[in-house]
Every structure is written in C-alpha cells, then in structure tokens.
Structure 1
Amino acid sequence: MLADGDNTELGEKGTNISGGQKQRISVARAVYSNADVYILDDPLSAVDAHVGKDLFENVIGNSGMLKNKTRILVTHAVHWLPLVDNIIVMDGGKISEYGTYDQLMTRNGVFAQFLLQHLENEASQEDLDDPEIKWIRDNMLEQVEIVTSEGGNSEVSDSPSTSARLKKSRKKRLRRRQLSSMSVTQSQVMQDKTHVSMATNKQQGLVSDETIQEGSVKPKVTKDYLKAMGVFWVIISMATMLLYHVVSVYSMFWLTYWTEDPFLRNQSNVVEQEYSQASIFYLIIYAVMGLVQGVAIFVGYYLSLTKIIQASSVFHNRMLYSVLRSPMAFFDTVPVGRILNRFSSDVDMLDNRFPDIFRMWIYNALTTVAGVIVIIVCAPIFAAVIIPTIIIIGFMLHYYMPTARKLRRFEAVTRSPIFNHLSETLTGSTVIRSYRCNSRFVKEAANRIDTNSAFFFGANNGNRWISIRLQLFGNIIVLVVILLAVTSDILNGGQLGLAITYAVQVTWSMNEVVWSILEMEMSSVAAERINEYMDLPSEADWTGGKVAPPLNWPETGIIEYDKYATRYRSGLELVLKGISFKINHGEKIGVVGRTGAGKSSLALSLFRIIESAVGDISIDGVRIADLGLHPLRTRITILPQDPVLFSGTLRMNIDPLGTFSDEEIWRAIDYAHLKNFVTSQSEGLMYDCGEAGQNLSVGQRQLVCLARTLLNKTKILILDEATAAVDMETDALIQLTIRSQFADCTILTIAHRLNTVMDYDRVMVLDQGRIKEFDEPRELLKNKEGIFHTMAKDAGLI
C-alpha cells in the first residue's frame, strides 16, 4: 500500500509513516527473523481493529505464520484472549493467575473482574468497528457476566448450569471463522480505496540531499565572518602585525648598519668616548625596536585570535537560533546527524583549527613578503629570479586549490552519514541486539567511516603534491642567491649575509604560507557550511507580529475558523480543506475521524506549527496570524499523545522554567494523581526521570505531562489523543482531572475512544480534511445515515 512498495523511503525514526505502519513493519521484521521464540510487546496497540484482526489471524494466532513457534504476547486487545493457549495475569509485579481462558473464567478471580470492567467501560470505535470483533467481545461480556453474577467462588462457577452456558458460548465461538469470511464492512472498502489511491502516487524523496557548494567560498561568507570578528579590530590587528614585520626587517638592516659603521670597525677608536656612545646608541635603538616588536606581536595575535573565537561564537549562536526557529518541515527532511555535524565538526574547525591556521598564515605571509623585499633591496638582480618564481607558484596554487577545496567539501558531507548512523544505532540498540545484527551495523559504520576517510586522506595528503614543488622552487631561489653572492664583487659581507639568511627563510616561509592558504581555504568550507544554516527559512516572528494581544488574552476562549486550509510543506496536498466553524466560550468539543482525516493537523494549526494556505483562525476576535508565536503558544495548553519528558528531575520536567513554587507543584501533582508515587520516592521532587523519562512508565509520563498542563492552565486546552498510549485506569484518572480542573476552559479533544466525547457539548467529525458533521452528540445520533451514528453503533454505544 506504500507509494513505492518496499523501496519507499522512510524518514528518520519513521517520520513519514503512521504509528500503525511502524508497528506492522516491526511485526514483519520479527517474522522475517525466523526465530523459535517470539516476544510480542503489544503489537496490536497502534493498529485499527481490521488490521489487528489480520495480524492476529495471519501472523500471531494458531493459524498464522508463527503457529509452530513459541509466542509470548503482551496485549491490551482482550477480545483475542479466548484464542490463545494460556494466559498469565500480572498484578503488582507478580503472577496472580495462570491458565487457559476457560479455566480463568470459571474461577471468577482477578481476570474475570478485569474483563467485566474492561468490556463494559472500554468500548471503542477502533476495537468494535468490525462485526467479528464486536461479536467476540459481546460473547465475552455475556460469558463473564454469567460467571460474575453467580458468585465469587469456584463451587458456584462450576455448577452444571454455568458449565452448560460456557459450553454453549464455546460453540458460538466456533462460528468465528464463518463470520470472518463475511465481515467486509463499508469502512474496509473505503480503506482499500484509500490504499489504492496512495499506491498510484509515486512518493517524492523525503530526506533532502546535503548540498555541496561549487567554486570558491562565496564573498558573503568572508564578509559575514569579518563582520562577526569586527572590521575595526581586524584592521588594528593587521596593522600591528605589519608593524612587527616592518620593525623586524628594519632591525636586521640596523644590525647591518651597526656592523658596517666605519667608525666602529676601526679598533683604534675603542678608547674614545664617541665609540662607546655610538655603540650605546645602536644598542638602545635595537632594544627599542625589539620592545616594539614584542608589543606589536602580542597585540596583533591577541586581537586576531580573540576576535576569531568571537566570530566562531557568533556563527554558532546564529546557526543555533536559525535551526531552533526553523519550521517542523525542516526537521522532517533533514536528518539529525547532518545538524550534529555542523554543530560539532564544523564548529570545532572554526574554534580550534582555524585560529592556528590564521596565525601561521599571517605570520608566514608577512615573513615571505619581508624576505623578498630584503633580498631585492640588497641585490636588485635577484628580482629576475624571485618574481617569476612567485608567479609560477601562484599558478600552481590556482591549479591545486579547486581540487583541495572540493575534497574538503566531500569530506564534510560524507561525515554526516556517520553521525546519522551513530544516532540511529544508539536509538535502536535494543532492537539491534535482539536481532543479533551487531556485526551488520559495525560493518555499515566501518563502510561510512572508510568513505569519509578516503576524502579526508585525499584532502590532507594532496598538500604533499604542492609542497614538493614549493620546496623545489625555494631551493632554486637559495641556489641563485648563493651563486650571485659568490660571484658578485658589488655586495659587502653584511648585505650578502642578510640576503642569504632571508633566502633560506623565504624557502621555508613560502612553503608554510602556501600550506596555510590551502588550509585557510579548506577551513573556510566549515564557515561556509555554518553560514548556510544561519539563513534557514524561519517560522513567523517570535515576539513581533502586527498586533500585541491584551495581557489577559484570551478571556473567553472563543475559536473561529474561516475557510481555513493548510498543508505540511510546499508541494504537498492540503490536509485541511477550507473548513469553517466556531467554538463558543467554555465549550467541550470532541474531534473524531479516521487516520488521515486531519485531526492532529487541526491542533497543529492552532499553534501555527503549520501555517495557513488559505483562510484565517481567530481567538477571541484576534487573528492568530497577526500575533507573534510566543504570545500565541503561551496562551494555549496542549496535552499531547506522546508524553515528552527531558533528562532531569521531576520538578524540572513539571516546571521547566522554574516559575512556580513547591506548593503549587505539589498541588498539580496531587490533581494529576501522582502524589503517592512521588512521596514514595526518597528524592521527592528531585527524583531523576532519566533520559526521555525512561525511569517512569508510559502512564506516569502522561500524568507528569498532565501536572505540567495544570501548572500552565490557560483558557484553551488541546487534548491530542492524550490517553491513546495509557491503560484504562490512567485514562479514567486523566478524564476526571480534566473535567474538574478545566471546567471553565474551552476544550478541544482529538479522541480515539468515542465514549470520551459522548458527554461533550459538540462533536466534530472530520473526513479527508473536511468537516462532515458538527453538532451535539444526541443530535448527531438522530441521523441514522450519519457517520457519527454509524461509528457509535459499531462501538456498541447505542
């Protein structure tokens, strides 16, 4: 049913498939492993009744693909329990009952009481949308009512009349296969049509390819970097570095003047006072120049290095702000490893490597220029050799630079898959170990590292190609200088010594300056990559907006949609298609519909996670499109389907910003029915929740989110299938708290259990992004041809 079959591209952590599809892929992976023992941890929780039936009958059950395997099934789908071999009932971490379904039913114990409560109170549209499953549940309910109504002991339960009724029930269950072959409902036909339409549309690539820039680093990158450093301080730094080299060169000439002074060379003048005064004069000037060099080099290096670190910090902060302000579509199409690569390796390049390279480049460049000037001044004839050599080296550098730059870019891009693979491996480490795929993932990691290392090796060792040629031409310069020194009768000893000294120095410095230029250019690729993420498309203004809402906005919580339509990102189809409705003050609205109907999109649109394509949304008469995102999102509260917790204490997760007192937090914990758990922990509010709340059960995580919601209570509350992943008891606690604590709030509930919204003021039925029905539940039930009436009838609520 997927667009490209088994070649369909899955996003990171399956972002482009539903929870039910993830679960089916997981079951398929388990079947494919062909093991002897299967531990199935609630594989039917995220799929609808029809798919759950197919999975059980064709895969898990005694007539499925795993019929000859040992299967340990953890499930909340109690209607399949009559078809398993044995049942283990857990209570308080211990086994309370064990046996076949019929044995447990005749005991009228914990299992029978649980079934009675579950079957009476947990009737859901998803579980009862299929006639076969509905028949099974009705039969189970009839059976458990027989057992529980005739007493709580085994003597009564084993009476002849009860046994006869149980035998009759077992005969009825034999009709299950016959009913299964005839149970093709209208919803199944609609679902099949949907699948066919999905298959006809080829899926576009989800994860975007990482871009590789072409040509030299753009001038904009250099401009932004210089602005981040501070242009004024860059000029001061370069001026002091230039001053250092000028004084350094002049000090060498000063030594020449000192040694070639005719008065000082005459040893007979040693006894005269002018001799000592001249020596002291030369010495003082030389010392002053040394002092000036020291101060200049310190100031130059200090300013340049500190401002480089400052520029790196500015780039990092701007990139961080840009990424955090990007819309959710960015994170759907960009793997987290690619983002980590920019924030780790590329930032590290600017933080650590770039300052050293810059220091070497500026020092060696000025040293080379100074050396060439000294040689030409001492012996102008050397220009005939040095100038052509420099031109040749420039051509070589121009020839080699594009290759080195491209290699560095490939090296940076091929580093991202390593981060992606590492992230996925750590996240799925339990699955990898369970399926004994360690060696395959190790091999994949090695392959990705090898690919990256190939470019890294080429980028770094390519320098040897140009280094050999630089040393060759540098040695030619030294050879020419020495030959001229030997054959020349014009130059004195001091000038010859100075020329030869700088010729040797230029040979070394020229090699270093070219290497530094190459490294600077390749390091600039990191700045280029960071600069690319500094200007990402952003969400709307955070605190700006055309209007500022009143301090106590919203006062009533009136929500109005006017011909509103939206899509998740450009190029995709609309998920909400011109819907219009109004929710009055304090109304409790239930939103129901099948997967893909647009229920979650409705909630996302209120927070402007996805923006309007057409139409408007107003809250208390204020268009939310005119507001900044911060004032909008802080005035609406949501209790999401997946509880989101962070590494840290319980207090931090309930009150992340630290704005509430302990008394207020404890009150919220009490209302969220977590007080007994928290008081039982020695750390209390400082209890460590672990990474992503792993030290808490799923139900406890949802209750922590409920406590957080109670603290940040607003006039509008969104419940996005908040009880989908919790058990029946936790669901009842959450619903009780919501009804009592949010009685005066406007509540918009995206429901997967119809009984949750049956007592709401109105119910909205969505289908394919459009509102099909919107009225009071009793009025909707009167329309026997309506969707809601059909859903309620299938759920056994009428």
Structure 2
Amino acid sequence: MLFFPRSEIKQIKYSSYIKALQMSFTMFINRAAIFLCVLSHVLSGYSPTAEYVFVISSFYGILKQAVTTWFPLGVTAIAEANISIERIQTFLKCDEAYLTKEISVRKGKSKNKKFLQKTQKPLLTITAATKKDVGVYLERASARWLCNSTENTLTNIDLSVTSNQLVAIIGPVGSGKSSLFQMILQELPIVSGKFEIVGNISYASQEPWLFAGNVQQNILFGSPYDLKKYQEVIKACALEKDFSSFPYGDKSLVGDRGVALSGGQRARINLARAIYKTADIYILDDPLSAVDAHVGKQLFENCICEYLKNKCKILITHQLQYLTNEKVDCVYLLEKGRITAKGNVQDILESGREFAELFKAETPIEDNDEEEEKFIKKRKFRIKEEPDNIQDEPVLEKETQKKGSISLRVYESYFKAGGNYWTGLMLGVFFIIAQISASGADYFITYWVNLEQHQLQQGIKNVYLDEELYNITSTLPIYEHNIILTRKNCIIIYGCLIGTIVLVTVIRSMTFFRLCMNASNILHNNMFTRVINATMHFFNANPSGRILNRFSKDIGAIDELVPTAIIDTIQVALGVFSTIAVIAYVNIWVLIPTSIILFWFYILRVIFLSTSRNIKRMEGATRSPVFSHISASLQGLTTIRAFGAQKILREEFDHHQNLHSSAYYLFLGCSRSFGFWLDMKCVLYVGFVTLSVLFIGSETYGGNVGLAITQAIGLTGMFQWGMRQWSELENQMTSVERVVEYTEVEEENTLNKNEPPESWPVNGKIEFHNVFLKYSPSAPYVLKNLNFSVLPMEKIGIVGRTGAGKSSLISALFLLSDIEGKILIDGVDLKEITLESIRSKISIIPQEAVLFTGTLRKNLDPFNEYNDADLWDALDHVELKKVILELPSTLNTEISEGGSNFSVGQRQLICLARAIVRNNKILVLDEATANVDPKTDELIQTAIRKNFANCTVLTIAHRLHTIMDSDKVLVMNAGSVAEFDHPHILLRNSDGLLSSLVKETGKIMSDHLSNIALTNFEAKNAKINT
C-alpha cells in the first residue's frame, strides 16, 4: 500500500467490501426469502406443504442469479458507464484548436501551393498568393495560453518572413521564443492582431520527438521514399557518420522515445524529418544546441543555408556566432514576450539591449571540412535502394507471451501476497461452514415438509379407524426419523440455520476480499519496486505503453475481476458437491447422469481453455501497442499537427486498435460458444433427473421429490456458472501471470552491498580502472578500457564527437548498467556499496531536464530535508527567484507533466537549483547548458563556480568555451579515453583531438579558446607556486 495513493486505496477498499456483500447475497438471499415466505405461510395458519415450498423454492431459484448477480452487475455497469461518459463529455467540452483547412492557389506556372486558413478565427486573413507572398506575417499579434488569464504570453508581435529569407529569433530563457513558434503553428491562441500564413509548414521541435521504429521511418514520417532526396537530407543533417556506425544503418531501431541514440543523434534525426518534408516554410526550434560546434556549423551552412536556400526559414538559436553570417537576413530579439529589437547583428548591437552585448563574446566559426570528407570516403553509410523489409533488418522486441495453462506457482504467488497459510486455512473453514449451513438449511426444509406430510397422514389415520383407512395408510411411506419436532421448533431451527448462513457468509466474503485487496496491493508494490530497480536494458527493450499496460489494465483486472472469479469458483464447487450429495440421498441413480455431465463439462472446459487462455494472453499483448501509440502521439502532438500527419497516426492507431478488438471479440465469441454448449448439456441433465425420480426411483414423499428436482435445476445453473467462472478465473489469472512476470524482472545488482560512511564522499576523488560498459549482454562495448583519475575538487570537461561515449561515461559512474573493471570514489569501490548511496551522493543535471508532476517545492526537495530559506537561496543563485515570486503559488506552484509550464531553459535552471540544494561533493552536468542562451549559460557557469568550488565537477559540453577553463579536459573517442590533461597542455599537440575540435571552430574562436586555456593554466601554476 506504500505506492498507491491513499484516496485510491480507500475507494478500492469500499468497492471491495460492497462487492463482498453482493457476493454474500448469492449464498443466502434466496434461502432467506424462502424462510420468510414459509414463516408467513405458517403464521397464517397453513402447513408448509411440498407443493407450496418447492414452488417458491423454484421461483426464487430462478430469480436468484438474476437478482444477486446480473442485477448488481447491471447497476455497476450503468454507473461505470455514466462515469465514463461524463469523463468523455468533459474531455469533448474542452476548448479545441481552431480548425484549419488547406486552400490550393494557382501560382502562375508553378504547381498549386497550399496554405492554411482558420475557419473560425477572423484574426487570420488570406491574400491572393503569388510566389513572393509565401511566408509568415504577424501584425501586432498577441496570444495567451489561458483564455481567462489577463496576462499575455506574447504581446504586439510584428514579424514578417518571406520566401528565400532566413530569420533568426533570439532571446533569454523564458522570453517566449518557443511560444512564438506555437503561435505560428496555431497551438497558442491569438487574442488580438493579424496573423497570416501562406504556404505549407514543416517543424523541428526543440525537444526531439522520435517514435518506436527505425531511423528511416522516423525521417520519412509517412512521406514517399525518394532515394536521391533522402541521401541529400542525410548529408545535409550530418548523419552519414552515425549511419555508418549503426549496426543496421538507417534501418537501426531508435527505441522508445529514441533511447538507443545520443542526444545529438536524436536532434539531427528530428531535424532531418523536418527537412525531408516538402514545405514552403521551415520552423526550426533550436536544432543546433544539442550538437558540437563542428556539427553545428555543418547543420547551419549545409542544411539551413544551402539545402533550404530557396525556402522561408525561421530559426530559434542560442548559438549567436551563426547570426553574423551574411545569409541571415534578419534577427529578432524577444524579451518577456515582446520583440524589443530587430534587424541585422549591427542593429541588435546598437539597440542598447542588455542581451545584445552577448554578441561581442560570440565569434563566427570557420570552415574545416577536410577530416569529415576523409572519413566519409573511408566509410559509406548504409542506405537501401528501397525501404522494403530485409532479413537482417532488426525488429522490435515482442512482448513475452507464455503458453499453456496457468502454473500453480502463479496461484501460489497470488495467495502468498494476500496472506499467510493460517489466513488461508481460516478462510477454508469459513467456506466449508457456510456451505454446510446452506446445505443443512436446504435439507431441513425438506425434513420439515416430510414431517408435516407424515403428521397430516397420521392425523387422518387416527380419525378413521375403519378397514378402508387401514388399507390407505398401509401404503404410506414409513417415516424414517425417530425425532419428531414441533412446528415451533422447526421454525427456530430453520431460522438459526439461515442466520448462521448470513453471518458466516458475510464474514467469509469480507475476509476473502480483504485478502484479495492485500494481494493486489502487494503485487502492485512488488512490481513497482522491481520496475523502479530494473536494469536500463529493461527500459530500452520495453516501450512505456507495455509497462503502463501492466500497471493499468492488468492491475485493474486483479482488483476487480480476479477476486470475483475466485470466490465464485470456490463457492460453486462446494455448492455442486453438496447439491450432488443431497440429490444422491434422495435418488442414488442420479449419480450416473451427474457423473456423465460432469465429465462432459470438464471436456468442454479443456477444449475452451486451450483456446480462450491463449486468446486472452494475445488480447493483453495486443493492448500494449495501443498504450504505446497513444503515449508517443501525445508527446509529439505538436509535431504531428505541424506535419498534418493526423490521418497517418489515426490509421496506425486504428490498426493497433483493430488487432486488440479482434482478439477481444474472439475471446467474447469463444465464451458465448462455451455458454451455449453448457446450456444444451444442462437441459438434457434436468430432463433425465426428472424422469429418473418419476419412473426409476421409489421415493413417494413429495418433499424428497421436490428437493431432487429443485436441486437438479439449481445444479444446472451452478454447473453453467461454475464452469464459466472457473474458466474465467483461468483467463483472468493471465493478468496475475503478467504482473508476477514483472515482479521477477532483472534488478540492478543489490546483493552483498554495504552502506558507506554517512560523510562519504569527503573529498570527491574519482578513479576509473579498466572500465568497460555495454548496455546488454549481446550489445557491443560502448566504453572500452577507461583508465583515469580525477583529483578532489577538480573541474573536468568532457568533450568528443557525438556518440563518442560521453553520456555513457556518466551511466558508468551512476552504475546504470553493469560494468567491468572498477570505479572508485574516495577509495571506495562503487560495486561494493548500495546504489542508493551512490546516486544520492552524486548530483546531476541531465541533458534533458527532468521535472516531476507535483509542486515546485517537491521538485527542489523531494524528501523535505531543507527549509524554505535554502530553497529560495538556491533559486536566487540561478536567478529564478524573481520568476517564481511572480507566480501565484510561488514554491507550491504545480509542475505540469514533464515541466511543460516552464521553458526548456528554465527547467535546466530548476535542476541546477535542485543540485545546489543537495550540495553533494560531486556534480555532473550532461550538456546542461545546451538549451539556454549565452547569458544563462554564463549564469550557470558562475553559479557552479561559486556553489561548487569545493566539489568535483564533471561537465559534458559542446560549447568548448564552457570547459576551456577546466583543470583538465577528458577527450572521448569511440568509447575510449583519447586525451586527458589540462586543456592548454593538450592544445600544444597540434595533431591532438582537442586541437582538431578547437580548430574546427575557426581561427578567431580557436585563438579565443586557446587564450582561455592559457590564462587558466598560468593562474593555476601561479597559485601552486604561491
């Protein structure tokens, strides 16, 4: 119960207890009704005859299942349907995006061009389109996310971009740059001004969106495959090197959300998808931040400036050095949702804006493509002539699907999770007592009816003493019971039996459902714990939808369906056994057809289960892609709309849904067929029992005959329901099987681990000794024989080409995958201490900032270890204090899913503030400043120097100027350490990798970086000498 929200647990508990009461009614409500009818009949002065008792018994027997099972199920279904309809209605009533339609306009001799026109928004106007008119036009446009808000997100935006132009949008973090693109994409509602778009739009999002497929599918995204165009796009987006290193070239799988790729590779594939689409307007949201300087220069010149030279282009960037390029037609400076300056770089400099001063620190990058051309000539990347399926093409790892019957181990795991053996034994006793009481009540009413019949006949005998009466009474059955009870005693005994049934059944059902609820909670928690502690390979191999399926649909089945199926199966099994015993007591010959029908039912069940069980497993497996597809579609909704790919995604969703619906329909059809054959066999059985009592048996007491027939009719109902529920139990236990499977997933190695001292690490010294790393047993090594040491309080910069293994090095430090070799921190081998200790003592600001749903306070201090003053101090250090104070709830502001109510740069700053609050001895920054402007970058660097001066800091960076003042630079190449020393010393080697990376930035920037390294080197030596 640790991981379930308390409100959900409370509701599940109430629901379980109500269901327990409803299940109790099936045992006693018809018997209680019979008792009340007989009681009122007797108190009215009549005798309980066989004709009366067994007519009402049959009547209530017929009503029993309808009243106790189908009616509650119907009420429940209607209530749940109403709730579902209300939820759907609430969703459908939400504000929709303004409808758009494509209008074809003849452009002279050229082909028809399409542009978007809103059908419900007068602020968007359309003019006659000619070739020069293609572009984006905004005139004093204002927009806000919430209609009821009084503050605009964007205010009085004037923007004009025409064909063949390249316009850059710059500004500090949180200034509204991405919101401007959302307005152009019609995601952000306009409240005033004019807005016109002429032409088709293509869009590359700031946070790369990839779906689970191969690289080529992500780039094509439904567009027709054109080999020549495809190769041009790949070259323009600098993906040739990457494709040559992928095991299957461009057919390699990217994994769920692109987990198999580096951040730079995801960004370039995301860009390639936007470039491959044939469009008039290209909106590029900061595609240069996630790549190194050399690749960034390639993308800017070869892709944006050259490949798209005849297109309308709008670029958001924090790489100000590119804006001095003559191909940039205009630069717009955006601050606090307003355009504060525009023009060329010189105009921005003369605007006097504080942000404009940053241009002075940025210098252009010069060409140096010789090395790149050499590499491409050596290794040709793999692109197939046609995008057809090939034998060596990888496929997505399918969800495991077991075969055969459900093993006893699954049942054992379920009941062990619910309670101990004593609990099970006590429940078994209650089940037996309840059934004995029920059968006893059924038999006692028979005894009472026979007693009344015997006393009636005896009374007649006493009145008439002549010979004729003797002849009549001599044919009466002999009463076999020596104890003759009064009518009053019969009422008391029958009432006590009914009371016992009610009491024992309610206790039994309540206890059983509590056991089942505990089993569900514990299985959920065990699965949650295992998944949380699972290896990274598990998450790489299993899409999020597959995991969500187990936590939603399967746990829901365990909560709702499994307990009902189990208690029904046990209850019916005991009922069938006791009913057969009662019928056999009246007429032993009934055992013959009973044995035959039981054998028939068993054969039917075996045939049915062999099919339905596998269909149910297939239904569960086909449900996972539906969840995955919806999850991926929601994450990339803006990209999907921008590409107009709704139809493609909808068709793909329909395909997944059809597969699931087909499997579910097969399951329902199989169940209905099973029910039909059960009904046919039951009709034959009832007919045989009735005939056997009338013609074969010697029974003449009406009570016994009535008992046999009514019990036989009731038995057929129990046969049908019992077989269905027994089979349903087997089918629903597949959900338990799937959950148990996830409770056994491979965990990260936690055995024989020790807790380090509370003060560890004291110094922050890091040592790598012969470290190898691969993400799965069959995968190649991504880190190879790493050997280096980081002294306490050293600041280490980590650089290398995209995919060189920089982020994998961080994975090794956090032991996210099993490593070979040793990693020591302050002399402690990380393999010998708990993972929790390692990860709690190292702070990280990841490449993609992670914020959790909840309050800002919880994100800064998840465990409530610090006071508000510490939190505000940390926010002040990253200059977010003023921003947060302006929010209505300040520290209690709710963070949207993924932190979407903050900009990407602000999320990075919040992550930095979280690291400052923790104040660990070791800090890791993985491209932490990739998505922020130079001013914020400088702010982060200053905050790190100030707050982590006495800490060891590892910084992965593409912006070389951020690590050139480091104590040492670690240069990674193909998973190995290529160079490791002070940057000034490394730059002395003109043939070294760091030197080549610096040279690729151009002579001016190269000299600037060398001066930073030299200044730091001299200052360091001077400090040592003093």
TM-score (norm 1): 0.86
In structure 1, what is the equivalent of residue 782 of structure 2? Answer: 575
For 2:784 and 2:875, locate their aligned partners in 1 and report how far apart those are by CA, in whole Å. 40
Is 2:186 the counterpart of 1:186? no
Post-superposition CA distance 1:320-357 (Å, at most 9, x none): 11111101221111000001110111111110112222
2:199 matched residue in structure 1: none
Q: 1:280/1:592 Cα in 2 relative to 1: closer, same or farther (>3 Å)?
A: same
Count residues with an aligned counterpart: 731
SS of 1:617's equivalent? strand
Q: CA RMSD in A?
A: 2.8
Checking the alignment, whether the CA contact within 8 Å between 2:252 and 2:393 is kept in structure 1 is no
In structure 2, the CA distance between the partners of 1:531 and 1:722, relative to structure 1 (3 Å rule), is same
- Provide the C-alpha distance between the structure 1 equivalents of 2:922 and 2:391, rounded to a whole number of angstroms: 40
Q: How does 1:35-74 map onto structure 2 within 5 Å?
A: 35-49=279-293, 51-57=295-301, 59-61=303-305, 63-64=306-307, 66-74=308-316
Partner-residue secondary structure (3-state), 2:663 = helix
Q: Distance in 1 between matches of 2:852 and 2:930?
A: 21
| Structure with the larger helix share | 1
For residues 580 and 744 of structure 2, what CA distance do their matches in structure 1 show? 43
Aligned to 1:609: 816
| Residue 459 (structure 2) pairs with residue 267 (structure 1) | yes
Partner of 1:209: 398
Shift of 1:221: 0.5
1:428 equivalent in alignment to 2:636: yes
Contact 2:587-2:697 within 8 A present in 1 as well: no
1:242-257 residue pairs with structure 2 within 5 A? Answer: 242-257=432-447
**Residue 761 of structure 1, aligned match among 967, 970, 975:** 967
User: CA offset at residue 265 of structure 1?
Assistant: 4.6
| Cα offsets for 1:728-779 (capped at 9, x unmatched) | 0011111111111211112222232222222222222221222222222232
Q: Which residue does 2:934 correspond to in 1?
A: 728
Name the amino acid aligned to 1:752: H
Instruction: Return the offset for 1:565.
Output: 1.4
1:9 matched to 2:253? The reply is yes
Are residues 551 and 10 of structure 1, via their aligned partners in 2, closer, same or farther at CA, if it must alter by over 3 Å? closer
| Residue aligning to 1:406 | 614
Report the alpha carbon displacement of residue 472 of structure 1 after superposing the two structures with TM. 1.8
One-letter identity of the residue aligned with 2:346: M
CA distance in 1, matches of 2:950, 2:293: 36
The aligned residue for residue 559 of structure 1 is 766
Give the secondary structure class of the aligned counterpart of 1:83.
Answer: coil
Tell me the equivalent position of 2:976. 770
Counterpart for residue 142 of structure 1: none
2:413 to 192, 217, 224: 224
CA separation of 1:442/1:197 partners in 2, compared to 1, >3 Å: closer, same or farther?
Answer: closer
1:705 Cα offset (Å):
1.2
Identify which range, 358-367 or 83-92, moves more after superposition: 83-92
Contact 1:97 1:111 in 2 (8 A): no
Distance 1:206 1:467 in 2: 40
**1:325 matched to which residue of 2?**
533
The separation in 2 between residues aligned to 1:683 and 1:301, in whole angstroms, is 47
After superposition, the Cα gap between the structure-2 partners of 1:206 and 1:600, relative to the gap in structure 1 and judged at 3 Å, is farther
Contact 1:312 1:350 in 2 (8 A): yes
Question: What is the CA distance between 1:395 and its match in structure 2?
Answer: 1.4
Q: Deviations over 1:632-675 (max 9, x none)?
A: 11121222222211223322221122111111111112222222
- Structure 2: gaps of 5 or more residues: 1-239, 385-389, 464-481, 1011-1026
Stretches of 4+ moved more than 6 A in 1? Answer: 111-116, 201-204, 268-271, 274-277
Q: Render the CA deviation track for 1:458-498: whole Å, top value 9, x for unaligned.
A: 11221222222222221222112222233246102222111
What secondary structure sits across from 1:592 in the alignment? strand
Kindly indicate whether the alpha-carbon contact (under 8 Å) linking 1:641 and 1:725 is maintained by their aligned counterparts in 2. no
Structure 1, residues 111-133: CA drift from partner, whole Å, max 9, x if none?
Answer: 99967743x5346xxx74xx42x
Q: What's the offset of the Cα at 1:515?
A: 0.6
Bigger mean CA offset, 187-196 vs 767-776: 187-196
> Is it true that 1:673 corresponds to 2:858 in the alignment?
no
| Residue identity matched to 1:511 | Q
Superimposed CA distance per residue, residues 538-575 of structure 1 (whole angstroms, 9 cap, x where no aligned partner): 0122xx74433112111111111111111122111112
Partner of 2:598: 390
Q: Equivalent of 1:93, from 319, 334, 337? A: 337
Tell me the SS of whatever aligns to 2:326. Answer: helix
Q: 2:322: which partner in 1?
A: 79
Kindly indicate whether residue 587 of structure 2 is the aligned counterpart of residue 343 of structure 1.
no
Question: 2:723 matched to 1:514?
Answer: yes
Instruction: Verify the 8 A CA contact 1:546 1:626 in the aligned structure 2.
Output: yes
Aligned 8 A contact 1:548 1:627 in 2: yes
Residues 1:526 and 2:769 are matched in the alignment: no
- Does the 8 A contact of 1:587 with 1:745 survive in 2? yes
Residues 560 and 581, structure 1, Cα contact 8 Å, conserved in 2: yes
Cα separation, 1, equivalents of 2:652 and 2:462: 80
SS across alignment from 2:902: coil
2: CA distance, partners of 1:241 / 1:190: 77
The whole-number CA distance in structure 1 between the counterparts of 2:580 and 2:977 is 81
Q: Residues 624 and 287 from structure 1, CA distance in 2 versus in 1: closer, same or farther, beyond 3 angstroms?
A: same
SS in 2 for 1:415: helix
Match of 1:154 in 2: none
Using the TM superposition, name which of 240-249 and 314-323 deviates more. Answer: 240-249
CA distance, structure 2, for counterparts of residue 347 and residue 667 of structure 1? 43
Q: Does 1:105 align with 2:346?
A: yes
Pick the aligned partner of 2:843 from 634, 637, 646: 637
Q: Is it true that 1:535 corresponds to 2:744 in the alignment? A: yes
Alignment of 1:603-752 (within 5 A): 603-613=810-820, 615-752=821-958
Q: Quick one: which amino acid aligns to residue 696 of structure 1?
A: F
Which position in structure 1 is the counterpart of 2:102? none
The one-character-per-residue Cα deviations of 1:223-250 (angstroms, maximum 9, x if unpaired) are 1112122332223223222222223223
User: Residue 546 and residue 658 in structure 1: after superposition, are their counterparts in 2 closer, same or farther (change >3 A)?
Assistant: closer
Partners of 1:263 and 1:269 within 8 A in 2: no
499-508 vs 574-583, which moves further? 574-583
**In structure 1, the residue corresponding to 2:561 is in which secondary structure?**
helix
Between the aligned partners of 1:646 and 1:195, the Cα distance in structure 2 is 43
Does structure 1 residue 121 correspond to structure 2 residue 361? yes
Conserved 8 A contact 2:930-2:958: yes
Equivalent residue of 2:894, what SS?
coil
Distance 1:481 1:650 in 2: 73
Structure 1 residue identity aligned to 2:796 = I
1:272-283 to structure 2, matched below 5 A, reads 278-283=486-491
Which of 240, 252, 265 in structure 1 is aligned with 2:430? Answer: 240
Pick the aligned partner of 1:549 from 756, 766, 774: 756
Secondary structure at the counterpart of residue 474 of structure 1:
helix
Give the CA deviation at 1:282. 2.7
Structure 1 residues 237, 365: closer, same or farther in 2, change over 3 A?
Answer: same
